[in-house]
Protein backbone atom coordinates (compact mmCIF):
# COMPACT_ATOMS: atom_id res chain seq x y z
CA UNK A 1 0.00 0.00 0.00
CA UNK A 2 1.28 3.47 -0.77
CA UNK A 3 0.59 6.47 1.46
CA UNK A 4 -2.28 7.92 -0.55
CA UNK A 5 -5.75 8.32 0.85
CA UNK A 6 -7.13 6.49 -2.20
CA UNK A 7 -4.94 3.45 -1.50
CA UNK A 8 -6.11 3.30 2.13
CA UNK A 9 -9.74 3.67 1.12
CA UNK A 10 -9.33 0.92 -1.53
CA UNK A 11 -7.81 -1.30 1.14
CA UNK A 12 -10.76 -0.70 3.48
CA UNK A 13 -13.19 -1.54 0.66
CA UNK A 14 -11.28 -4.76 -0.04
CA UNK A 15 -11.27 -5.70 3.64
CA UNK A 16 -15.05 -5.20 3.74
CA UNK A 17 -15.55 -7.31 0.60
CA UNK A 18 -13.35 -10.13 1.90
CA UNK A 19 -14.58 -9.86 5.52
CA UNK A 20 -10.96 -9.52 6.61
CA UNK A 21 -10.13 -9.85 10.28
CA UNK A 22 -8.35 -6.75 11.59
CA UNK A 23 -6.93 -5.39 14.83
CA UNK A 24 -7.49 -1.79 15.93
CA UNK A 25 -4.87 -0.34 18.27
CA UNK A 26 -5.45 2.97 20.04
CA UNK A 27 -3.42 4.65 22.74
CA UNK A 28 -5.10 7.50 24.56
CA UNK A 29 -3.18 7.92 27.79
CA UNK A 30 -3.80 6.33 30.22
CA UNK A 31 -5.69 3.78 28.06
CA UNK A 32 -4.44 1.24 25.55
CA UNK A 33 -7.31 -0.18 23.52
CA UNK A 34 -6.96 -3.29 21.36
CA UNK A 35 -9.95 -4.58 19.39
CA UNK A 36 -10.20 -7.47 16.94
CA UNK A 37 -13.03 -7.89 14.49
CA UNK A 38 -14.02 -7.74 10.84
CA UNK A 39 -14.63 -4.75 8.61
CA UNK A 40 -18.42 -4.71 8.51
CA UNK A 41 -18.90 -1.55 6.46
CA UNK A 42 -17.03 1.22 4.68
CA UNK A 43 -18.89 3.87 2.73
CA UNK A 44 -15.99 6.24 2.08
CA UNK A 45 -16.70 8.35 5.16
CA UNK A 46 -17.31 5.87 7.98
CA UNK A 47 -15.41 2.67 8.73
CA UNK A 48 -17.27 0.12 10.87
CA UNK A 49 -15.51 -2.81 12.53
CA UNK A 50 -17.49 -5.37 14.52
CA UNK A 51 -16.22 -7.95 16.93
CA UNK A 52 -17.44 -10.00 19.83
CA UNK A 53 -19.42 -7.56 21.95
CA UNK A 54 -18.37 -4.29 20.27
CA UNK A 55 -18.87 -2.06 17.26
CA UNK A 56 -16.13 0.44 16.38
CA UNK A 57 -17.16 3.25 14.04
CA UNK A 58 -14.60 5.77 12.80
CA UNK A 59 -15.72 8.99 11.09
CA UNK A 60 -12.85 9.49 8.63
CA UNK A 61 -13.62 13.14 7.82
CA UNK A 62 -10.28 14.95 8.08
CA UNK A 63 -8.29 11.71 8.18
CA UNK A 64 -4.90 11.09 6.65
CA UNK A 65 -3.39 7.66 6.17
CA UNK A 66 0.05 6.14 5.96
CA UNK A 67 1.37 2.62 5.95
CA UNK A 68 3.00 1.53 9.19
CA UNK A 69 5.83 -0.89 8.39
CA UNK A 70 7.49 -1.39 11.76
CA UNK A 71 4.95 -3.92 13.04
CA UNK A 72 4.65 -7.60 12.16
CA UNK A 73 1.28 -7.47 10.37
CA UNK A 74 0.72 -8.08 6.64
CA UNK A 75 -0.68 -4.54 6.28
CA UNK A 76 -1.08 -1.84 8.90
CA UNK A 77 -2.60 1.62 8.32
CA UNK A 78 -1.83 4.53 10.64
CA UNK A 79 -4.93 6.76 10.69
CA UNK A 80 -4.61 10.35 11.92
CA UNK A 81 -7.68 12.56 12.28
CA UNK A 82 -7.02 16.23 12.93
CA UNK A 83 -9.85 18.41 14.22
CA UNK A 84 -8.79 21.37 12.08
CA UNK A 85 -8.96 19.25 8.90
CA UNK A 86 -12.57 18.19 9.48
CA UNK A 87 -15.45 19.72 7.56
CA UNK A 88 -17.08 20.66 10.86
CA UNK A 89 -14.38 21.81 13.27
CA UNK A 90 -14.20 20.02 16.60
CA UNK A 91 -12.17 20.67 19.71
CA UNK A 92 -10.74 17.19 20.22
CA UNK A 93 -7.37 17.96 18.62
CA UNK A 94 -5.72 14.98 16.97
CA UNK A 95 -6.68 11.31 17.23
CA UNK A 96 -4.56 8.43 15.97
CA UNK A 97 -5.13 4.72 15.72
CA UNK A 98 -3.79 1.77 13.77
CA UNK A 99 -5.82 -0.73 11.76
CA UNK A 100 -3.86 -3.89 11.00
CA UNK A 101 -4.78 -6.89 8.90
CA UNK A 102 -4.60 -10.25 10.65
CA UNK A 103 -3.75 -13.40 8.71
d(CA 18, CA 29): 33
Q: Domain map of the chain by residue range?
A: 5-101
42-58 per-position pLDDT tens digit: 998 889 999 999 999 98
d(CA 28, CA 14): 28
* pLDDT bracket for residue 2 (50, 70, 90): very low
Which ranges constitute the DSSP H helices of the chain?
Answer: 5-18
CB atoms within 10 A of CB 20: 17
d(CA 38, CA 20): 6
**pLDDT above 90: residue 103:** no
21-79 per-position pLDDT tens digit: 999 999 877 889 999 999 999 998 889 999 999 999 988 887 889 888 888 888 999 98
The CA distances from residue 100 to 68, 89, 91, 93, 96, in Å, are 9, 28, 27, 23, 13
Q: What is the pLDDT of residue 89?
A: 60
Topology (CATH level 3) of domain 5-101: PH-domain like (2.30.29)
Q: What is the pLDDT of residue 92?
A: 61
Q: What is the pLDDT of residue 33?
A: 92
Amino acid sequence: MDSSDDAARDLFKNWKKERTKVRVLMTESPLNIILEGIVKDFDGSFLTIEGLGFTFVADLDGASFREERSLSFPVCVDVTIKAEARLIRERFGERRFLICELK
